[in-house]
Amino acid sequence: MTASVRIDRLLGNLGYGSRREVMALCRSGRVLLDGARVPSADLKVALEPALAARLTVEGEALDPLPGLVVAMNKPLGHTCSHDDAGPLVHDLLPERWRHRDPPLSSAGRLDKDTTGLLLLTDDGPLLHRIISPRSEARKRYRATLAEPLRADAAAVLASGTLVLRGEDRPLLPADLVVEAPTLAVVTVAEGRYHQVRRMFAALGNHVVSLHRDRIGALDLPADLAPGDWRILEPGEVAAALAAAPSPASDD
């Protein structure tokens, strides 16, 4: 059954303003449904995909409905937090989206100095499905290292016995493909704090640069330049939740 929602509540939750401001918008005839002024802000509408094309606010199509999933190519130097002092990934999205409720959150944060595929969503259950260690959605990173990798690096990571500094629970097994002495592709199931950098530190190395290029079976879209983003289609969201083809495969 399709849920219905009051227009003032919907617009308020999408960040168009307080209930009062949204009521004023409707009263002034700047909110149209199927081309006609909405008679009242408490009119209920079915929350279905077609609504985004039927409802306009100040002459513009309605913002994406709840259930939004965005893929971003996170640039260097931006943080995934909502309120850090420096540049935020949220600064790269439309300003109004910052006022959405539920908010758009990163599904598996990337460090300020890590680049690549970042998913943001306002769908709480989906977010947990992506970041849960039980999820099939393993994350793949390309790491440039300061030192040549030790010969047993892949075996140690695959063993499921590596314990990070300051922790007592071993990491789940991770796949490592060594592409060059200081270039590795690692696929992990968990998302512990600074996990990949700390994994390589535990191997006596240091990550110089880190880039995430795959979540589950979803590759960083080739058309996304650093800082660019786009809304994912349902099939792409399903791919992010699916098992990756193979740890280092490019197809």
Which residue lies nearer to ligand URA by CB, 79 or 121?
A: 79
Q: What is the largest CA-CA distance in the chain?
A: 71
Size of the site for ligand URA (CB under 6 A): 8
Provide, rounded to whole angstroms, the least separation between the CB of residue 186 and ligand URA: 9
Is residue 91 flagged as an active site residue? no
Q: Does 197 bind ligand URA (CB under 6 A)?
A: yes
Phi and psi torsions of 182, nearest 5°: -120, 25
Q: How far is the CB of 48 from ligand URA (least distance, A)?
A: 36
* Binding to ligand URA, residues 85-114 (CB under 6 A): 110-111, 114
Q: Kindly tell me which of 76 and 241 has the beta carbon lying closer to ligand URA.
A: 76
What are the residues whose beta carbons fall under 8 Å from the beta carbon of 201, sequence distance 6 or more?
Answer: 165, 207
Q: Closest CB to ligand URA among 12 and 191? A: 191
Pick the catalytic residue from 42, 111, 122, 219: 111
> 116: how many CB neighbours lie within 10 A of its CB?
23
Give me 57's structure tokens.
Answer: 């606010």
Residue 201: CB minimum distance to ligand URA, A:
9
Spatial separation of the C-alpha atoms in residues 78 and 83, rounded to whole Å:
12
E strand spans, the chain: 4-6, 31-33, 36-37, 44-46, 55-57, 60-61, 69-74, 105-106, 114-121, 139-145, 175-180, 183-188, 207-215, 218-219, 229-231
Could you say whether residue 138 binds ligand URA (CB under 6 A)?
Answer: no
- Among 96-104, 176-184, 188-196, 241-249, the segment contacting ligand URA (CB under 6 A): 188-196
Active site positions, annotated = 111
Residues of the shown chain interacting with ligand URA in the complex, contacts defined by CB under 6 A:
110-111, 114, 194-197, 210
